[in-house]
Amino acid sequence: MIVLLQSTLAESEQRALAGRLEAWASDHGARLVGFGPGWGKCVEVDLAAGAEEEACASQVRQIDGIEAVLTASRPTHHVAGAGREPQRIEVGPARFGGGFASAIAGPCSVEEHDSLLALAWQLRRAGATALRGGAFKPRTSPYSFQGLGRPGLEILRSVSDQTGLPVVTEVLDPRAVELVAEFADVLQIGSRNMMNYALLSEAGGAGRPVLLKRGMSATLGEFLLAAEYLAHAGCSRILLCERGLRHFDPTVRNLLDLAAVPALKRVTHLPVVVDPSHGTGSAALVPAMLAAAAAAGADGFLVEVHPDPRHSVSDASQALSPEVFATALERASKVLEACDRRLARPAAETQPV
Amino acid sequence: MIVLLQSTLAESEQRALAGRLEAWASDHGARLVGFGPGWGKCVEVDLAAGAEEEACASQVRQIDGIEAVLTASRPTHHVAGAGREPQRIEVGPARFGGGFASAIAGPCSVEEHDSLLALAWQLRRAGATALRGGAFKPRTSPYSFQGLGRPGLEILRSVSDQTGLPVVTEVLDPRAVELVAEFADVLQIGSRNMMNYALLSEAGGAGRPVLLKRGMSATLGEFLLAAEYLAHAGCSRILLCERGLRHFDPTVRNLLDLAAVPALKRVTHLPVVVDPSHGTGSAALVPAMLAAAAAAGADGFLVEVHPDPRHSVSDASQALSPEVFATALERASKVLEACDRRLARPAAETQPV
Amino acid sequence: MIVLLQSTLAESEQRALAGRLEAWASDHGARLVGFGPGWGKCVEVDLAAGAEEEACASQVRQIDGIEAVLTASRPTHHVAGAGREPQRIEVGPARFGGGFASAIAGPCSVEEHDSLLALAWQLRRAGATALRGGAFKPRTSPYSFQGLGRPGLEILRSVSDQTGLPVVTEVLDPRAVELVAEFADVLQIGSRNMMNYALLSEAGGAGRPVLLKRGMSATLGEFLLAAEYLAHAGCSRILLCERGLRHFDPTVRNLLDLAAVPALKRVTHLPVVVDPSHGTGSAALVPAMLAAAAAAGADGFLVEVHPDPRHSVSDASQALSPEVFATALERASKVLEACDRRLARPAAETQPV
Amino acid sequence: MIVLLQSTLAESEQRALAGRLEAWASDHGARLVGFGPGWGKCVEVDLAAGAEEEACASQVRQIDGIEAVLTASRPTHHVAGAGREPQRIEVGPARFGGGFASAIAGPCSVEEHDSLLALAWQLRRAGATALRGGAFKPRTSPYSFQGLGRPGLEILRSVSDQTGLPVVTEVLDPRAVELVAEFADVLQIGSRNMMNYALLSEAGGAGRPVLLKRGMSATLGEFLLAAEYLAHAGCSRILLCERGLRHFDPTVRNLLDLAAVPALKRVTHLPVVVDPSHGTGSAALVPAMLAAAAAAGADGFLVEVHPDPRHSVSDASQALSPEVFATALERASKVLEACDRRLARPAAETQPV
């Protein structure tokens, strides 16, 4: 089992606490195997053969100065939901959780200011309460479009300021977290970086909510531990995002794991968002999966919308047109109501003429 | 490409037709590579290098006596949906497709008459329109309960006759198809047998509707070709059933592929049923996935319900109690209505007191 | 835990034994939950909460008339290797296990007598000691070549009788087991039928050795339980065959799990054969994987060879030419010797001129 | 298709070249869709409907100033093997490729100087020519041992200087590349970071060879494109490393894809290393998979060895003892010789007494 020490303890207090742990261990046939350099404020304890881990953990939790004790059946601390109310996270008009679901919509990558502004107003009218779009793009090939970078962030910020839709955008590099956090309302960590722990630690400390996408072959346990990295670095507003898994059928880009929504809600209080666009890779399947995500209990939706899907620079085949998005979101809204929840909607129209 | 000859042709007509195909082939640089023993009423044609398959297929379809021509992009004939209305299949009070969805519910295996009868009435009151239950069970171990066999079928028939709920039950062996068809209203082919072509051919010719479960790692293309085996043997009422895929996360028994529902509907006119019980393997996840399946467009639901889930002989952890099932089905019904469809319901109560 | 009763017991003896089990159970807070119809000669026992399963099993094994007791950690009986010498299976000149490995080679499907005879002699000269070839083919589409059937079996038998190479061929249907067993030296159960328990039970009782291929997404535990079905039906000569798993990379047909060879050998005494042809789906990868299988400890190799790979009726892209096969088998033979084992070879040349 | 401009062109030359491309495009019904910010020295060209991509690429490759043209069937430039000799990479006594294979061995994480030094001498005597060990560890939980960091690097350097074994160690953070490159002979990029493009770009420019591990669900195409990121950043000595894939059988930690070795060698000239330790996750399977990797054509082996496997801080169950490693490497060496290759060995013993 792993013992987390309170992070506020002075070094001398930590040493004293380690002494108390040593004493407990020697009384119980256990030993401290991890402690000191490389362990942060954690101590690993090897229990005596046959010892019952949960019972030992309960005892050790009583020791003064202990923040938490992690066991095989409870490997997380901050993101473990046991005994907590489901969390509601609000960002501008968007509300995730607590009976509300919100749509985050926008293009795969930011290409140009005026067209994005026009699209953002369309999205808002359709019921979206946040804007997505990539300024830094993770691309499988070094020769593919890598995003506009800082100019892309400036476009996003400007469009957000005019439309009132908060910005969700991806950060790829720990060295860019400060820059992205300056422009974005929510930092996105993509699937390929779910296990990029340097990035998680930096993004978790940026003072912004973080939308964390599940790795393309990550178990739910690994997903929650990645969220724990964010929380451990200080992040208190984490949105988990299911976005489809790698699998064997080449006719479908990803396999959307909607059962992850109720499964996650059993073990964490964090809101869960679903991305039916990457989750299927096919625009024709997105409306049905958006409705299904609403019925499965999702607290938010991340949907790729492009003003002219056939001419997008990237990921064209999965983007919806604004019109199809509006229709699909209406259906999802009705499904939410059938399930006693509601779509969070932006305030009444304020677009300047 | 594969050329299907009309099955009604006499042998001499077939020979004449083969001659016409030979003539076409020699005119077009193609050759007949498959023909005769082992090929049934099919001929495989190798096209000339660079020839456009769809164009060739269009020409050959004009030849008199040709039933169909299959190509890489259209590998099925009977189950291909192109240009067809979605099919509605009715079995007693159950209606699958055409704006209706129906619930098939019951225990994993048939254990005893009176308790099944009591359960069936509960299921009917909850809104189920068909009864499932296994008399022959496919079990990973030869030492696990293999089902009651014929006595189980007799119990199912008796309960069905009293409650008006048609029976859906699995058949495992081509030699048992006739027996099972005598007692069942719908034959079920399980996941492990999706590629058991001897069984498919026998079951397809039994004159009963067949519910075909997707193999645990079958692509949608393979799934449809398995359905084509049924159709080729004469079955005109096929229900496709998504039931979860094998995957890498040991905390979840199967990974339910709900996107298969809209994906199948784009390529076939057959109704699609979802099994959220095997599809998740966990009773706690079934209600959310039942609602999600309704939103995704499913035409039916296969749900495991047990009077006392903790004491089921098999698959206990995924069975719902009748009470939880009733609540979950009500939610699914509301979701269907939010999507402009309806749950087919049994006629008003007729249980003898 | 599952208790297997000795199969030779008369019914009255079984009842008496069940009484003794009841007595043990009531003494130990356990209860008999499975017994009677559908259970065969097995009894399932639910242990008291907290009871240690292995300890209970040890006690019950002492009771007179008990054949075996299966537990979570020991789910098989006949195929469990614990305490047994690795088995050597001999079929004609082929030897699988006990320091020997043998090559089974031949075309995907039997097409014609004379060409198969010529090929068989080539294979024999190259070092093969058994002949493979399909008379009944499991095909994803009902419109693909289904094999020659009985005439194909007759060709195989004739070629075998002339060349001295025993025949390994697939059976798909329990109703065809008797027919195939009449012509074949070894029955093959294909991947798609690994969980076709009706077929396993029939094939296991046919008095022939059986080569059982692993299902395309079967765990090793499921694979061994499928073998247990064969053994339970009376088969004492089972060859396990790893043939590649379904996976996510569309550029490779299957993913060959060579680590299954040493993993299986830790838990069973049965010989393990590797099929690098289906296991990779690409002729270019077969020679390297044949050598790798030899190094991994395989007791046999199943290799697809076609006299003219470009003109095979099925599975062309994975077949080797006889020349490439000969070279590849020589390398595998050297690798076997580097690992202190040997390739079983046919006796000196006897081909009539 | 993607056109790569020569990187040495001045900006004005690039503009002129873009003009020539525009001219070619307008002559051929194509258009330049990607160019300018976010595209680096690449231009994406949309071809006319029906145009043959390879033919167009051949034409464009003739234009002066073009470095390369990438197409669907040839998506990489630097790492594409077509027409190149297999590369041999030498690092101290280690030789990867060109008829030689080398063993990189050592503990999962660096724990302490003297024990590592003693182990390194044992490894050298056993035939290893490079030392592995983690100073920065990627851990699923933020509360697990994260490695000693810089002190760990100092230990590795000191042990390397004394034993002559070059150091292979992982880097997790682009900000730490310079530090790690100061101490290490080869930078390792782990599986979780295969798609961490910021890290790849930084590590590729560090002037050190890089060992790149395949992501746990990466296709070979994605793997090569990750290597292309390294090469694009300037790295000319890249070792690809297969280390097992995520899969469905919970009894095996990873599924080692040995067929990736010959499959990679068909499309790249880079050496390929195999990690049978992480690739199986089980010490009992490592010797057989080490031998199999040698037979499959691997140019190197990455093996976890711990002086006392039962007391390792991390990954205990997969580490070999030095004695088992020595025996296993001898067998692999014999297998290499059976395949006309050789194990690179360290010079004769020079350990000070």
The DSSP string of A290-343 is HHHHHHHT-SEEEEEB-SSGGG-SS-GGGPBPHHHHHHHHHHHHHHHHHTT-EE
Interface test with chain A among D6, D33, D143, D223, by most A beta carbons within 10 Å:
D143
**Tokens (6 digits) for D34:** 């990607």
Nearest alpha carbon to residue C244 among C205, C215, C219, C273: C215
More confidently predicted of D163 and D144 = D163
Region C333-350: mean pLDDT is 92
Residues 89-128 of C with CB under 8 A from A: none
Rounded Cα gap, residues A291 and A331, in angstroms: 6
**C158-186 b/e with 16+ CB inside 10 Å = b?**
ebbeebbbbbbbbbbbbbbbebbbebbbb
Give residue C318's identity as a one-letter amino acid code. Q
Reported as a pLDDT band with limits 50, 70 and 90, residue B351 is: low
Length of chain B equals 353
How far is it, in rounded angstroms, from Cα B93 to Cα B99?
14
- State residue B109's pLDDT score: 93
Q: Which residues of D touch B246 (CB under 8 A)?
A: 248
pLDDT higher than threshold 60 for residue C314:
no
The one-letter amino acid at A346: P
Token output for D318 = 């997969």
Reported as a pLDDT band with limits 50, 70 and 90, residue C136 is very high
What SS3 class is residue D2? Answer: strand
Q: With contact defined as beta carbons under 8 Å apart, do D215 and C217 qualify? A: no
Burial class (CB in 10 A: 0-12, 13-18, 19+), C335: buried
Residue C64 has pLDDT above 60, yes or no: yes
Q: What is the mean pLDDT of residues D276-285?
A: 96
Residues of C in contact with D224 (CB under 8 A): none
8 Å CB contact between A335 and B297: no
Q: Which of A150-154, B10-14, C86-90 has the lowest mean pLDDT?
A: B10-14
For residue D349, the model assigns a pLDDT of: 64
State yes or no: pLDDT of C70 exceeds 70. yes
Split at pLDDT 50, 70, 90, the class of C8 is confident
Q: Distance between CA B140 and CA C226 in Å, rounded?
A: 7
Type and span of the H or E element at D23? helix D11-27
Question: Any bridge partners for residue B210, and if so which?
Answer: B187, B238
Instruction: Give the model confidence (pLDDT) of D335-348 as tens digits.
Output: 999 999 999 999 87
Give the tens place of pLDDT for each residue, B165-200.
Answer: 999 999 999 999 999 999 999 999 999 999 999 999
Banded model confidence at residue C15, pLDDT cuts 50, 70, 90: confident
Size of interface A-C (CB pairs under 8 A): 6
- Is residue C311 scored above 80 in pLDDT? no
Helices (H) and strands (E) in chain D, counts: 11, 15
Min Cα separation D177/chain B (Å) = 33
On the question of pLDDT at B121 being above 80, the answer is yes
- The pLDDT assigned to C35 comes to 76
Write out pLDDT tens, residues B21-44. Answer: 999 999 999 988 877 777 888 889
Under a CB-based contact definition with an 8 Å cutoff, are residues B137 and B173 in contact?
no
Answer yes or no: do D217 and C248 touch at CB < 8 A: yes
Tokens of A109: 């990558």
Burial D85-96 (b: 16+ CB within 10 A, else e): eebebbbbbbbb
Query: What average pLDDT does range A78-98 have in this prediction?
Result: 95
pLDDT of residue B312: 59
Assign C73 a pLDDT band (cuts: 50, 70, 90). Answer: confident
Q: What was the pLDDT predicted at C34? A: 73
Chain centroid to Cα D279, Å, comes to: 15
Under the banding of pLDDT at 50, 70 and 90, the label for residue D350 is low
What is residue C268's predicted lDDT score, i.e. its pLDDT?
97
> 3-state DSSP call for residue C86?
coil
What does the pLDDT read at residue D312? 60
| pLDDT of amino acid A302 | 98
Residue C345, amino acid? R
Contact A286, A277 (CB under 8 A): yes
Report residue A213 CA to chain centroid gap. 5
Q: Does D313 score more than 70 pLDDT? A: no
Strand partners, D161: none
Please check whether residue D96 is in contact with residue A169, taking contact to mean a CB–CB distance below 8 angstroms. no
Give the model confidence (pLDDT) of C182-207 as tens digits.
Answer: 999 999 999 999 999 999 999 999 99
Contact A276, A266 (CB under 8 A): no
> Which runs of consecutive H residues, i.e. helices, occur in C189-342?
197-204, 220-232, 260-265, 276-280, 286-296, 322-338
Within an 8 Å CB–CB cutoff, is residue A220 touching chain B? yes
Give B66 to chain A, closest Cα distance, Å. Answer: 30
How far does the CA of residue B52 sit from the closest CA of chain D (Å)? 13
Count the helix, strand and coil residues of chain A and give each as a percent rounded to the nearest 5: 40, 20, 40
Which residues on chain D are in Cβ contact (under 8 Å) with A193? 195-196
* Mean pLDDT computed over every residue of chain D: 93
C257 shares contact with chain D (CB less than 8 Å) = yes
Could you tell me which residues come within 8 angstroms of residue A52 by beta carbon, excluding any fewer than 6 positions away?
A: none
Q: Are C230 and C187 in contact (CB under 8 A)?
A: no
B195 with C140: Cβ contact below 8 A: yes
Contacts of C289 in chain D (CB under 8 A): 258-259, 262, 296
- Please name the residue of chain D whose CA is at the shortest distance from the CA of residue B248: D248
Backbone angles phi, psi at B23, to 5 degrees: -65, -45
Question: Count of CB contacts below 8 A, A vs D?
Answer: 126
Q: Which chain A residue lies closest to C246 (C-alpha atoms)?
A: A248
| pLDDT at residue B172 in the model | 97
> Of B262, B284, B289, which has the smallest distance from its Cβ to A258's Cβ?
B289
Tell which residue, D273, D278, D249, D246, has the closest CA to residue D260. Answer: D273
> Within an 8 Å CB–CB cutoff, is residue D338 touching chain C?
yes
Summarised one tens digit per residue, pLDDT across range D183-236 is 999 999 999 999 999 999 999 999 999 999 999 999 999 999 999 999 999 999
pLDDT tens readout for residues A124-138: 999 999 999 999 999
Contact D267, D69 (CB under 8 A): no
D275 pLDDT higher than 90: yes
pLDDT for the residue numbered C41: 85
Predicted confidence band of residue B83 (pLDDT cuts 50, 70, 90): confident
For chain D, state the CA radius of gyration. Answer: 22
Residues 6+ apart with CB under 8 A from C329: C103, C126, C127, C128, C290, C301, C303, C343
Subunits that touch chain A (at least 3 Cβ pairs < 8 angstroms)?
B, C, D
**pLDDT beyond 60 at B315:** no
C-alpha dist (Å) from residue C162 to C118, C352, D196? 11, 9, 61
Q: Which of C213, C207, C211, C270 is nearest to C235 (CA)?
A: C207
Percent above pLDDT 70 for chain B: 97
Q: Tell me which chain A residues have a C-beta less than 8 angstroms from the C-beta of D244.
A: none
- Can you name the residues that pair with C276 across neighbouring β-strands? none
Whether pLDDT at A347 is above 90: no
Residues of chain C in contact with residue D280, where contact means CB-CB under 8 angstroms, are: 259
Length of chain C: 353
SS3 C228: helix
Residue C247 touches partner A, C-beta closer than 8 Å: yes
Check residue D50 and give left, alpha or beta (phi > 0: left; psi -120 to 50: alpha): left
Interface membership of B35 toward C (CB under 8 Å): no
Of C152, C110, C227, C171, nearest to B198 by C-alpha is C171
Q: Which residues pair with D341 in a beta bridge?
A: none
**pLDDT mean over D77-86:** 91
Question: For A225-281, how does the pLDDT look when each residue is reduced to its tens digit (9 = 90+)?
Answer: 999 999 999 999 999 999 999 988 777 789 999 999 999 999 999 999 999 999 999
pLDDT of residue A247: 87
- The answer on pLDDT for B141 being more than 60 is yes
Q: C250 to chain A: which residues are within 8 Å by CB?
A: 250
More confident residue, D82 or C346: C346
The pLDDT score that the predictor gives to residue B353 is: 61
Distance, in angstroms, between A211 CA and closest chain D CA? Answer: 18
Please tell me the distance from the alpha carbon of residue D137 to that of residue D56, in angstroms, as a whole number.
47
Q: Are D132 and D329 in contact (CB under 8 A)?
A: no
User: Is C38 within 8 Å of B147 when comparing Cβ atoms?
Assistant: yes
Q: Among all residues of chain B, which has the CA nearest to that of C135?
A: B38
Tokens of A287: 């409306």
Q: How far apart are CA C349 and CA B164, in angstroms?
A: 72
